[in-house]
Chains A and B, each alone.
Chain A
């Protein structure tokens, strides 16, 4: 249960691939601080777990953006996203009342833009159907769709991650999305 020895660059790559190793690393390096912060600010461990998951999704979106540069530790970024999510929740709970925040001074945080925080979209039946069909698709299709349409990684990087050529990534992507479209329309 000790922290594994992964460099930041390696962790970044693993996180883009979505390996459980990268998730575990994030828990081991960052969860304690998040728990500490949330407990000091009217929260419980369970709140910390929820916030942590939402924040990892925010982090994945953040690192996949074109032009993202790794100029702070991923754990620092993750902590900041957690902090923002929790403060937002606190504020909406208290509805406009000022929130007294206790920050751990030892832990420097960076400013995170609001759009890193996952906004819940209205999910309708047709969206759930798409998600269900995706669950049934081959693992390669799931990966290629997630990397391109969700994380918006460039073809070049997807090709490297999956061991394909760029052209073949295009072909597979096209076929997979075609299939998804067919199985989800007119039903």
Chain B
């Protein structure tokens, strides 16, 4: 027994592994042997270390913790934690390969809400692609209206080539014969003259598809027009336009965070600018702030006579879709689908059919 205790005492003093019971046994005995206790205590009184040792320990501990963190990070990577929207984009465009693709697929299989998110993302991309095409057609409509105003068509009755132009899609037919004529003439004009407008729109279509920029900038040109027509003495109006122009620049550059901040600042000064509000709400969508976007778009879509009212309704429906509010989505899409004048009629019908 005594011998055994000595062993434990020896272990205790040399700092070997002991159970709490053994430790307590030694310590209870030590109190009855004041001499031993004192010698232990005096030996232990000076646990100081030099600076080099301190730096060494510091260095070791930091590296040690970082190693542990890297292990955690790697575990999370395998679970697909570091996947973000740009990874989803890469996946959808087929750019994801090898290990990252495996991780992505694994998470798709295991994580139902993630799979849904990816699905919605796909829907959104498709919706935007359809919408972009539509908006090009709208621009063409705009051009043909202007041409109509200039009596372009009455003057160019002599142009016979219009029949050789590919039929401009069934959709146009419902616009009526005059519109078809106008459309054909426009296409002719664009093709033959290499009209800059055409190129510009083509580019922006690619742009839309690749980066899903939500709505093209219809303001800046007007702003520049107005700015160039200003004389002196209208400084405050000029300042306003310039500020709006810089907001739109950020928006066009797809710096949506900056654009949002800029719009916010602008709207504090000019709270009644509905168009700015419209573009801000699109920036909010890009930033994933759906609730804020919804409250803005809801207001715009209820504003009669607002030039972008129909677009607002359409986007509101899309955000509702993204924000998982199926009833509201359906109601809005139905109302768009019933609206003969809405450029989004057909797209809404398509989505409704899929839902």
Contact = CB atoms under 8 A, between A and B. Distances in A.
Interface of A: 1, 18, 20, 23-24, 27-28, 31, 35, 40, 45, 49, 53, 56-57, 60, 102, 118, 121, 123, 126-131, 134-135, 140, 142, 145-146, 149-151, 163-165, 167-168, 170-177, 180-181, 184
Given A27-B81, A171-B13, A150 B44 contact: no
A45 B84 contact: yes
B53 A184 contact: yes
Given A121-B59, A146-B64, A170-B44, A165 B20 contact: yes
Contacts of B72: 20, 23-24, 27
A176 B12 CA distance: 13
A121 B13 contact: no
Interface of B: 12-15, 17-18, 20, 23-24, 27, 40, 43-44, 47, 49, 52-66, 68-73, 75-76, 79-82, 84, 111, 257-258, 261
A46 to B, nearest CB: 10
B23 A140 contact: no
B60 A181 contact: no
A20 B68 contact: yes
Given A18-B65, A20-B68, A102-B257, A27 B73 contact: yes
A150 B84 contact: no
Given A126-B52, A180-B53, 19 more contacts: A1-B79, A1-B111, A23-B68, A27-B73, A60-B65, A102-B257, A121-B58, A123-B55, A123-B59, A130-B56, A130-B59, A131-B59, A146-B57, A151-B61, A165-B27, A171-B13, A171-B40, A171-B44, A172-B15
Contacts of A129: 56
A134 B73 contact: no
A182 B247 CA distance: 67
Contacts of A49: 73
Contact of A149 (B27, B57, B82): B57
A80 to B, nearest CB: 18
B60 A131 contact: yes
Contacts of B43: 174
Contacts of B24: 165
A27 B76 contact: yes
B69 A128 contact: no
B53 A130 contact: yes
B27 A167 contact: yes
B24 to A, nearest CB: 7
A35 B288 CA distance: 15
A127 B52 CA distance: 7
A129 B60 CA distance: 10
Contact of A176 (B15, B23, B54, B58): B15
A57 B65 contact: yes
Contacts of A181: 49, 53
B55 A127 contact: yes
Nearest to B52: A126
Q: Please indicate which of the listed interface residues B20, B23, B66, B69 has the most CB atoms of chain A within 10 Å of its own CB.
A: B69
B197 to A, nearest CB: 35
A171 B12 contact: yes
A123 B59 CA distance: 8
Nearest to A41: B257
Q: 3 closest pairs, A vs B, by CB?
A: A130-B56, A175-B15, A131-B60
A173 B82 CA distance: 40
Contacts of B61: 146, 150-151
A187 B112 CA distance: 59
Contacts of B73: 27, 49, 53
Most chain A CB within 10 A, of B61, B76, B79, B80, is at: B61
A176 B120 CA distance: 58
Contacts of B68: 18, 20, 23
16 contacts: A1-B80, A20-B68, A23-B68, A27-B73, A28-B81, A35-B84, A45-B82, A45-B84, A53-B73, A56-B69, A134-B57, A135-B64, A174-B15, A174-B43, A175-B15, A177-B49
Contacts of A135: 60, 64
Interface centre among A40, A57, A140, A149 (most CB of B within 10 A): A149
